[in-house]
Every structure is written in structure tokens, then in C-alpha cells.
Amino acid sequence: MSSAVFIAALAAVVLATSQDNETAPPPQASNHKSTTLTDDESNNIAVFSDVSPSVVFVTNTQLRRQMFSLNVMEIPKGSGTGFIWDEEGLIVTNFHVVYRANKITITLQSGKSYDAEVVGTSPEKDIALLRIDAPDEKLKAINLGDSSLLSVGRKVLAIGNPFALDTTLTVGVVSALGREIKSISNRTIKNVIQTDAAINPGNSGGPLLDSMGRLVGVNTAIFSPTGASAGIGFAIPVNTVKVIIPQLLKYGRLYRPILGIETLTLTDYWATRLRVKGVAILSVKKGLPAENAGMIGVREDRRGNIHLGDVIIAINDEPVTNEDSLLSLLEQKGPGDTIKVTTLRNEEIQNYEVTLSSPET
């Protein structure tokens, strides 16, 4: 082959190659990040990205007078977590996070801080409802789930501010359902969710979420001998919170119907003597349901001897052993509901049909 022919052939090859490169699509950059994620990891990232803007940092500040100058200064009392309930600025957190606070500050994910007012509190359920005025912020309310659909083994995620490390994600499962814990007021909180998702100091008041990013509980406590997470955390179920929040918004407290009595938990002496546990009626209030039904309280005879009146031992055949159990049963009812109250009086069983009234304001 002559040199002229060879050069012409080589030029044709180069031209064809050049034309192929111009018409071929550009190479696709490999998405190394997405191809190395499992479905579970992708879900964790998606839930955190979607819900974290709804999670807030709560700071509890108290006023203290300096010993020598007598000047009043603000002292940080503690911190915790909360979340945005609605776009109007309502914030939900634990009652113990804001307990005895002179000032409460809410810090949003944007970094802006706002003073909060207390709308209502429920110490017996460890829930507090706050409000901030944040006109320049686009507040994102958390999505509500249904805690009755939970089962042991289901994945849950917690977002909070443990040890003041803001917006931290932990992941676990529902370890148990139907637990009971004591609130700051020594009342029993029932149907609590147990989880092994790490809940450290500072996580209190934060959301417990399902894999769809919906609120299923409010993280409230841990069981730990050291104070750090030991894989046993507790959350108040969202279905309980759904009932409480409207009451706090309207009344500022839990709206519990009343019998109209003052109570006295039986001492061990009386419990042994009567061979029963219950709540003694110390006195009945005039014109209220208990008196209208014919119930009586403690009486003193002419000799100064004290005699018990009615001792409540059951509500609608559910045992009443102390004031906590009595209040828990009443909280399941509303004003106007009629209940059966079973008492022991003079060693005889009495049954009363009582229509509950609205709480005193």
C-alpha cells in the first residue's frame, strides 16, 4: 500500500470516530451514594430529612438572685426536645422539661429562638403545650400516626437533642407495649410504648416516629442505673396525646369529670381491718353527684370516735385500690356519663348510679 493510500485511509477512520463521538450520549455519572444504601438506610435518611424541621430545642431557664449583689439573673435549669404541633406555633413537649421554668425558649432548626408561653400542662400525663409567635417562620407541623397500630418488633425512630446535641437521630424497634410508668406527679401513665431506640437526657419531649415519619409517641423517660440510655426507653402513645392536647388548648389542664368528693387513701390499718383496698370518701361536696347519689364521708360521733362512710372499691366493676386508679378510671369518662360506683359501708357492699359533672373552673 502506497503512503498516500495509507494516509487517506487513516484520515477516514479518524473522521468516522469523531462523528460517532458527537452523536453518542454523554456517559452517565455513577451514583455511588445511592447504590451503596440499603432500603432501610434510605428510609432512615428520608424520615430524618422530612421530620427534623418539625423538631425543636427547648430550654428551661429559672431566675435566681445573686447572693451578694441581690441582682436577679437567669440560670439554665435544663433542656429538652419538643415538636411543632401545628402551623400556628403550638409546641408539644414533656411537662418535666418545662417544670418550674421562669422562661422557656424554643429554638427552631433555622437557628432562630423564640420565647414560649405555656398554654396548658398535664403533669399526670407528663405533657406540656406551649406556643411561640414566629411570624417570619414557615412552621412545619409533624404528621400524626396511630399508636394502636403498633406491634412489638416494628421499627421506630427518635429525633431529639441528647446532651444538648441538637437534632440527633436514633433508631430501634418497639420492645413492648402497655407499659406503665410514674409521672412527675406520681400518677401512673398507662399504655406506654417501650423502645430500644436510644433516648438520652435531652431527648425528653421529642417525637417517636414510625417508618413513614408519623408521630406514634412522645419520648418521656428511660430506665437506666447510670442516667444514660440502656436500651429501655418509654414514650407516651400519640393516641393519648391526641386526647390531651385539645383539653390543654381549651382549659389549660386535663379536663376530668368529677364525683364531687374529697378522698382519703386507706391506711394499712384500715385496709387490714376492712380486708379491702380502696379510697375512702373524706367528705362529699354539697350539690354534686356523690351527695345527690346518697354517698357519705367520714363521720365523728358524740364520743369523738371516727367512723368511715363509703369506701370506693370499684368503678363500673373495675377495681379501685388507690386515688391513682380512681382518677385513671374517671379520666376515661366525660361529664354527663353515668357510672356505677361500688363502695363498702359498714362492711356492706353498696352500688350507686352516679352521673358525673363538669370539673370546677
Say whether both 152 and 232 belong to one domain: yes
Q: Could you say which of 225, 251, 277 is where a domain stops?
A: 251
139 lies in some domain: no
65 lies in some domain: yes
Say whether both 119 and 210 belong to one domain: no
Say whether both 59 and 113 belong to one domain: yes
Cell of 197: 431506640
Which long-range contacts (C-beta less than 8 Å, at least 24 apart) are formed by 75-80? 77/101, 79/161, 79/164, 79/202, 80/160, 80/161, 80/202, 80/203, 80/204, 80/205, 80/206
Q: How big is the CA angle at 184 (ends 56 and 223), to the nearest 5 degrees? A: 75
Q: How big is the CA angle at 115 (ends 78 and 137), to the nearest 5 degrees? A: 120
Say whether both 287 and 222 belong to one domain: no
Q: How big is the CA angle at 102 (ends 99 and 107), to the nearest 5 degrees? A: 80
Number of separate domains in the chain = 3
29 lies in some domain: no
Say whether both 65 and 109 belong to one domain: yes
Question: Dihedral angle at the C-alpha atoms of 32, 38, 44, 50, nearest 10 degrees?
Answer: 50
Residues spanned by the domain of 235: 147-251
Say whether both 246 and 283 belong to one domain: no
8 lies in some domain: no
Say whether both 166 and 116 belong to one domain: no
Whole-angstrom distance, CA of residue 209 vs CA of residue 142: 10
Please answer whether residues 238 and 216 qualify as being in contact, where contact means their C-beta atoms are separated by less than 8 angstroms: yes
174 lies in some domain: yes
Say whether both 203 and 275 belong to one domain: no
Say whether both 309 and 227 belong to one domain: no
Q: Could you say which of 251, 273, 307 is where a domain stops?
A: 251
Please answer whether residues 165 and 206 qualify as being in contact, where contact means their C-beta atoms are separated by less than 8 angstroms: no
360 lies in some domain: no
Q: What share of the chain is helix, strand, coil (3-state, %, to 5)?
A: 25, 35, 40
For residue 267, give the CATH number of its domain.
Answer: 2.30.42.10
- Phi and psi, residue 293, nearest 5°: -85, -10
| Helix locations, the chain, DSSP H | 3-23, 32-35, 39-51, 95-98, 238-251, 268-274, 289-293, 323-330
194 lies in some domain: yes
Which residue type occupies 216? V
Say whether both 155 and 245 belong to one domain: yes
Q: Which residues are catalytic?
A: 96, 126, 204
163 lies in some domain: yes
Say whether both 347 and 282 belong to one domain: yes
Say whether both 348 and 279 belong to one domain: yes
Evaluate if pTM is beyond 0.85.
no
For residue 120, give the CATH number of its domain.
Answer: 2.40.10.10
Q: Could you say which of 132, 161, 195 is where a domain stops?
A: 132
Tens of pLDDT along the chain (361 residues) come to 444 444 444 444 444 444 444 444 444 444 445 568 999 999 999 999 999 999 999 998 865 555 554 444 455 567 889 999 999 999 999 999 999 888 999 999 888 999 999 999 999 999 999 999 998 788 999 999 999 999 999 999 999 987 667 788 999 999 999 999 988 888 889 899 999 998 877 888 999 999 999 999 999 976 655 555 567 889 999 999 999 999 999 999 988 898 999 987 777 777 777 777 889 898 999 999 999 999 999 888 888 787 888 999 999 999 998 888 999 899 889 899 999 999 999 889 999 999 999 887 5
